[in-house]
Structure 1
Amino acid sequence: MRLKFLAMVFLFATPAFSGDWWTYDNTRFGYSIELPEEFPVTIYPDNNDGLALAPADRSAKLVVFGTHMLKGDFSNQAKFRMGLARSDGWQISYSKVAGRTLSFSGTRRDRILYVRGISLCNGDAAFFQMDYPKTDMHRYDVVVMRLVRSLKPTEKCSSNRQVGERLFKTG
């Protein structure tokens, strides 16, 4: 009986989209993120600020992008992103801004939205935004968690460099 139980746990614990992942490096903004191979790219913007992706069944939408922050203020950028989501009808149920990171999630009708952002060294920010059906929550939660862990700046930041750049940009 115990062997059957362990076999069932292993069978159902195997995450969806456990196949190969690839690393997207955005040199324009200086960030990288791991993306599931099962999400082919649907849009390559001409300005090289990111990508749009979706699985073959188009049940989810994933957008990865970099952006310039007004005066390098990540807190204001976080508020702006949450405001955009609210204006699109998303009911935000979770949000956390901690230093150089932002996460928020919410729902709209039968869909879930998850947004993650990081502040970058040069006064820019990188984000991913994924929305997917509530009925597929278990399928996509593992994808979201890996995206959260893998979104990173590609340059090491030092506080002196950040301050110097901000002074240079504003002064």
Structure 2
Amino acid sequence: MLRSLTALTLLLSSALSAAAADDWISYANARFGYVLDIPPGFELQSQGDNGDGASFQANDNGATLSVFGSTLLDGDFETDVNERIGVERDGSWRIAYSRVTAAWASFSGVRGEEVFYTRAIALCDGSAAYFRLQYRKSRLTSFDGVISRMAEALRPSEGCQHPPIAAVAGEAPN
């Protein structure tokens, strides 16, 4: 009986997890040519007038999500990312983690009771795609899975003819 109950519980939790995964929506940006999965509960707040991205907010927990593309000055992805890290530092964020490669970057920071995580990928034609998720420090562990999925889902659109250099095998993407 206990085995049957355990098996049923596992089956139901798997089904619920699969259903929850279906609540994610795909955001595609035609101007810069990137795609990102947006987590359940995040509602569109605004879109950039120039078509570079959008802002979302989760009303149940106060988290905010910015998704945007950027034209790279001189086509240098790593310089663009490092400049953005500097802007975060100038905004009184303590950078807790950063990893910058020629193809992707991830960095996060802490300021008071707030945390942010940013992921970026190099795109074709000298541009990049970013997302920045900001949330309360008390929700840190609840966003781990969300961030992992989003980091994996941020990708160039299918029209990208020259995808960026892939991360070295075995390296964590975030």
TM-score range, shorter chain: 0.7 to 0.9
CA distance in 1 between partners of 2:29 and 2:49 (Å): 13
The residue number in structure 1 matching 2:143 is: 140
**Aligned with 2:62: secondary structure?**
coil
**Structure 1: gaps of 5 or more residues:** 160-171
CA distance in 2 between partners of 1:78 and 1:99 (Å): 10
- 2:97–2:109 Cα contact (<8 Å) kept: yes
- TM-score, normalised on structure 1? 0.81
The residue number in structure 2 matching 1:72 is: 75
CA distance in 2 between partners of 1:30 and 1:158 (Å): 11
1:57 aligned to 2:53? no
Deviations 1:28-55 (A, max 9, x none): 0011111123101011121111010011
**Aligned with 1:139: secondary structure?**
helix
**Structure 2: gaps of 5 or more residues:** 165-174
For residue 106 of structure 1, the aligned residue among 109, 119, 128 is: 109
- 1:120–1:153 Cα contact (<8 Å) kept: yes
How has the CA–CA distance of structure 1 residues 93 and 48 changed in structure 2, closer, same or farther, with 3 Å as cutoff? same
Residue type of the partner of 2:162?
Answer: C
1:17-56 mapped onto 2 (5 Å cutoff): 18=21, 20-56=23-59
1:115 aligned to 2:115? no
**Aligned with 2:88: secondary structure?**
helix
CA distance in 1 between partners of 2:135 and 2:107 (Å): 14
Deviations 1:106-126 (A, max 9, x none): 111111110100111110111
How has the CA–CA distance of structure 1 residues 38 and 70 changed in structure 2, closer, same or farther, with 3 Å as cutoff? same
- 1:19–1:36 Cα contact (<8 Å) kept: no
**Aligned with 2:45: secondary structure?**
strand
Deviations 1:57-106 (A, max 9, x none): 35111000001110100111011110011011110011101221010011
> How many residues align structurally?
156
CA distance in 2 between partners of 1:50 and 1:150 (Å): 16
Residue type of the partner of 1:85?
Answer: E
Q: Identity over the aligned pairs, expressed in percent?
A: 36
Q: Which runs of 4+ in 1 moved over 3 A?
A: 1-4
CA distance in 2 between partners of 1:156 and 1:134 (Å): 39
Deviation, 1:156, is 3.3
The residue number in structure 1 matching 2:169 is: none
How has the CA–CA distance of structure 1 residues 158 and 113 changed in structure 2, closer, same or farther, with 3 Å as cutoff? closer
